[in-house]
Structure 1
Amino acid sequence: MSTPYFPNIDKIEYEGPDSDNPFSFKYYQEDKVIAGKTMKDHFRFAIAYWHSFCNENSDPFGVGTRVFPWDKTDDPLENAKFRLDAAFEFFTKLGTPYWCFHDRDLAPEGDSIEGSEKNLQTLVDLAKDYQKDTGVKLLWGTANLFTHKRYMSGASTNPDFAVVTHAGAQVKAALDATVELGGENYVFWGGREGYMHLFNTMMRRELDHLGTFLRSARDYGRKIGFEGNFLIEPKPMEPTKHQYDYDAATVIGFLREQDLMDDFKLNIEANHVTLAGHSFAHDIAVAAESGMLGSIDANEGDNQNGWDTDYFPTNLYDAIETMIILLDNGGIAPGGFNFDAKIRRDSTDLEDLFHAHIGGMDTFARGLIIADNILENSNFRELREGRYTSFDSGNGKKFENGELTIEELRDLAAKNGEPEVRSGKQELLENLFNRYIR
């Protein structure tokens, strides 16, 4: 690596909750074993290349507020090399084992398909050396199929076949890059795969085109040796009015219809889930209980702002709920927790990027500790599972097994009369959670 971009910041270490050092972990202790795994293995934390090293804190109302020391020249390709150097310095000082990228934030687009592929290959060659030197690995790669004006009406769902061919070229190159860098997953986020108005949209045709495109990408990925999961990241709207990957349940239904369940899983992003009107834990549970949870984009929205703010996660309740679901469902590997989050517009110092990631990692580490404590030392499971004991034997069990007809259900209702009212004990469970937050 060249001259450090973060010269005044040393390797971030665990110092415990009583430390007043802002450049230390208070709860994340990567080698600490909880529920049979180290914290490092529970989370498999990754850094989002685009928000951390490309996003200048611009928004729809103003230009960027961050000035990057790695933007040294007027040559975008040279700056991309400097950016990669800064990124791997950051990864190693923070101690995260993984990173993630889009093709266009890693390398600038060229003036032709061949030029773009050449630029990407140049940066992939450099990234391969950095990964070898640092031990940092690629959690997943993806292609940016939403920024360029050609994708204003979608990429694989675009009504113009010429646009679909460009999307295919980008995905091919991004898959090549992901495989060359040992990426463990590959993500599709359909930023503009949806519609703005039904008057000019043929939904059935576009959905079938999306399925055809995904099958082509899957087939190519398997052909070049990619053995990981393909991931789809749900989002309900923004930038389109309606996106075809609305939420976890919608995506699972689409994958089942398109016969893609064997190769695809879901990458759940917290802020996308809340935009769909759910809690973060809801889509995690939907995906996990269907065997379709592949990875997590860790961020959060703002209840007072109705858009995708992508704040760094600090909500401890969300973290506890998420970790209870993951502990109950065997974890997240080969996915991980990618910080698809950006620092606030008025956070302009380089050190702010460290504070944000330290806070996010500590939030989930603390959530893991509390979740494990709840599951191991409280009657949480007993209270939850106790609501369903009537299905554990007798006629309830027969019903679960599909052994009762609707006529038999009617006769049982008539025989047994009005059922006893049974409390859901919601307040008791809420108090239990609060008692374990220490």
Structure 2
Amino acid sequence: MSTIFDAIPPIPFVGEEGEAEWGFRAWQPDRMVEGRRMADWLRPAVAYWHSFCATGADPFGAETMDRPWFRTADPMQAARQKAEAAFAFMERLGTPFFCFHDRDIAPEGATLRESNAMLDAMLDVVAGHMRRSGIRLLWGTANLFSHPRYMAGAATNPDPDVFAHAAAQVKHALEATHRLGGENYVLWGGREGYDTLLNTDLAREDAQLGRFLSLVVEHKHRIGFRGTILIEPKPMEPTKHQYDRDVATVYGFLARHRLLGEVKVNIEANHATLAGHSFEHEVALAAALGLLGSVDINRGDPQNGWDTDQFPNNAQDLSLAMLEVMRAGGLGSGGFNFDAKVRRQSFAAEDLVHAHAGGLDTLARALLIAARIRADGRLDRARAGRYAGWDAPEGRAILDGGMSLAALSDRVLEGGVDPRPRSGGQERLENLVAQLAR
């Protein structure tokens, strides 16, 4: 079967000075960085939905992406065409992983039984492409937000029948992910939130969401799925307020429902900024709380207040988040998934290649910058020095519970403790990072 990517050759490495139209400037999968392959640090993945399902439509205009599978009348034949093209694309790019929603892979039928049957048939097709190409599944998920039945949420829906339908859909999608050897399973609560409190019972919906996630974890263990269950935080859009707003909110939710240790987070860069945080903040907090699982790598536009899902192109900005990933020892079974889409005017097949190649180069450059910062050591020494007092006996005694409030008071009053402010040296450290990022 021919595809729209047949005329595009496998993308070679050409180096930073290379002028060829097709070529990686920084991405070298086998390059060693701190004793680990670049590919093993980054574990990059292609997002099936944005790359092969997006039509280019927006609220003000019709589709602009003219893909052959969009014009095929038989939905299952279209799904097979799309899969053929998707793997042809990923093989040319050399990415080791992909991610998908159930409805990306196969069409939705008139009933869930029919939808499941079509997905099962397509899993055989996808599994064949995976065996042939060696490309693996980073994570799978279920689309619990597009169909009108989910307009008021899935797990948090006021109708228990919708909750049951969503549970059945997730059961099948989790089993499909397991069948394909997926390394994680993601839950994105696209409509798990509210548009108005006038018709919303927050306590009830929190309890429903907690029960739903507990059911997913129970089924994971029942079927022997060894991958990580991930929640993807987002503050709003499409709802006014979503219950998985950010990493801190997810941590509180997991603690409240006794799910710590069972679930981690899949952090999206653009979602972090929509929540009013920097991307590196969310990565650092997730690592500190033991929740760092995987990353959807993209960026927003500072002039747009919504989730624009653009490909990353600024390695210096990204290097601070990459530094936190490296400090955490990597992403384990997670990776960097390009949850990003080409712009509406970038409708040619080669635009999709250029977008991913540039994104891979940006990730690689950010990794190399982060490694330079770590090798230089000055940033880590400055941070450690700032907290040196806590490593002294008095500081350790405070944290270990060896001193009461009264004992601390006596130490200050009787010992003449008179602390003086110390500069944080922020500008010096910012200059250092900028220097090392060149």
Pairwise TM-score range, normalised by the shorter structure? over 0.9
46-55 vs 410-419, which moves further: 410-419
Tell me whether 1:428 sits opposite 2:428 in the alignment: yes
User: Distance in 2 between the 1:240 and 1:67 partners?
Assistant: 30
Q: 1:64: which partner in 2?
A: 63
Hey, what does 1:260 align to over in structure 2? Answer: 259
Identify the residue that residue 294 of structure 2 maps to in structure 1: 295
C-alpha distance in structure 1 between counterparts of 2:409 and 2:88, whole Å:
68
Counterpart secondary structure, 2:118? helix
Within-5 A mapping of 1:59-138: 59-138=58-137
Tell me which amino acid in the other structure corresponds to 1:202: D
In the aligned structure 2, how far is the partner of 1:416 from the partner of 1:177?
A: 66
CA distance in 2, matches of 1:43, 1:416: 51
User: 2:35 & 2:203 partners in 1: Cα distance?
Assistant: 46
Does structure 2 conserve the Cα–Cα contact (< 8 Å) formed by 1:58 and 1:345?
Answer: yes
Report the counterpart of residue 311 of structure 2 in structure 1.
Answer: 312
Instruction: Tell me, yes or no, if the aligned pair for 1:15 and 1:24 is still in contact at 8 Å.
Output: yes
Q: How does 1:199-238 map to 2 (within 5 A)?
A: 199-238=198-237
Give the structure-2-normalised TM-score: 0.98
Distance 1:318 1:268 in 2: 16
Mapping for residues 327-366 of structure 1, pairs under 5 Å: 327-366=326-365
- Please state whether the residue corresponding to 1:61 is helix, strand or coil: coil
5 Å-filtered alignment, 1:370-389, equals 370-389=369-388
Q: Distance in 2 between matches of 1:174 and 1:242?
A: 26
Decide whether aligned partners of structure 1 residues 166 and 430 sit closer, same or farther in structure 2, where only a CA change above 3 A counts. Answer: same
Instruction: State the secondary structure of the residue aligned to 1:404.
Output: coil
Distance 1:397 1:73 in 2: 68
- Percent identity, aligned pairs only? 50
Tell me if structure 2 keeps the 8 A contact 1:128–1:181: yes
Cα drift, residue 71 of structure 1:
2.8
Shift of 1:173: 1.3
SS for the counterpart of 2:27 is coil
Letter in 2 for 1:143: A
Q: Give the Å deviation of 1:11.
A: 0.9
| 1:419 and 2:404 are equivalent in the alignment | no
Q: 1:71–1:82: 8 Å Cα contact kept in structure 2?
A: no
Q: Distance between the aligned counterparts of 1:280 and 1:40, measured in 2?
A: 21
1:5-20 pair list within 5 angstroms: 5-20=4-19
Task: Answer yes or no: is the 8 Å Cα contact 2:231–2:266 preserved in 1.
Answer: yes
Q: Distance in 1 between matches of 2:54 and 2:191?
A: 20
SS at match of 2:58: coil
Following superposition, the deviation at residue 12 of structure 1 comes to 1.1
**How far apart are 1:412 and its partner, in Å?**
3.0
Matching residue of 2:53: 54
Deviations 1:5-30 (A, max 9, x none): 21221111211100112321111110
Q: CA deviation at 1:417?
A: 4.5
Distance 2:219 2:437 in 1: 47
Partner deviation per Cα, 1:21-71 (whole Å, 9 max, x = no partner): 232111111000001110010011000000000011222222221111233
Cα distance in 2 between the residues matched to 1:178 and 1:283: 26
Q: 2:383 is aligned with what amino acid?
A: R
Partner deviation per Cα, 1:314-367 (whole Å, 9 max, x = no partner): 122332112211111110120000000011111111101111111111111101
* Amino acid across the alignment from 1:429: L
Residue in structure 2 matched with residue 178 of structure 1 by the alignment: 177
Q: Equivalent residue for 1:194?
A: 193
How far apart, in 2, do the equivalents of 1:344 and 1:403 lie? 58
Cα shift at 1:176: 1.6
CA deviation map 1:389-411 (0-9, x unaligned): 11111322211222222222223
Q: Return the alpha-carbon distance in structure 2 between the equivalents of residues 396 and 100 of structure 1.
A: 46
Quote how far apart the aligned CAs of 1:200 are.
1.0
Residue in structure 1 matched with residue 401 of structure 2 by the alignment: 402
CA contact (8 A) 2:154 2:162 kept: yes
- Structure 2 contact 141–186 (Cα < 8 Å) conserved: yes
**Number of aligned residues:** 437
Give the 3-state SS of the residue equivalent to 2:68 in structure 1: coil
* C-alpha RMSD over aligned residues: 1.2
Answer yes or no: is the 8 Å Cα contact 1:70–1:86 preserved in 2: no
Matched, 1:162 2:180: no
- Choose 398-407 or 257-266, whichever is displaced more: 398-407
The 1-side partners of 2:316 and 2:16 are apart by 18
1:218-255 superposed Cα distances (whole Å, 9 cap, x missing partner): 22222122111000000001111111101001001111
* Shift, 1:263, TM fit: 1.6
Q: What residue ranges of structure 1 are gaps of 5+ in the alignment?
A: none
Checking the alignment, whether the CA contact within 8 Å between 1:35 and 1:372 is kept in structure 2 is yes
Write the distance in 1 (CA, Å) between the matches of 2:9 and 2:182: 28
Q: Is the 8 A contact 1:211 1:258 kept in 2?
A: yes
Matches of 1:71 and 1:244, distance apart in 2: 34
Q: Tell me the SS of whatever aligns to 2:62.
A: coil
In 2, Cα distance between equivalents of 1:67 and 1:327:
40
| Matched AA of 2:408 | L
- Residue 321, structure 1, aligned to residue 334, structure 2: no
Alpha-carbon offset, residue 153 of structure 1: 0.6
Question: In 2, Cα distance between the equivalents of 1:94 and 1:70?
Answer: 21
Q: Decide whether the 8 Å contact of 1:24 with 1:358 is kept in 2.
A: yes
**Does the aligned pair in 2 maintain the 1:270–1:280 contact within 8 Å?**
yes
- Preserved contact between residue 46 and residue 98 of structure 1 (Cα < 8 Å): yes
Structure 2 counterpart of 1:276: 275
TM-score of the two chains, using structure 1 as the length reference: 0.98
Distance 2:21 2:354 in 1: 7
Partners of 1:268 and 1:283 within 8 A in 2? yes
The alpha carbon displacement at 1:192 in A equals: 0.5
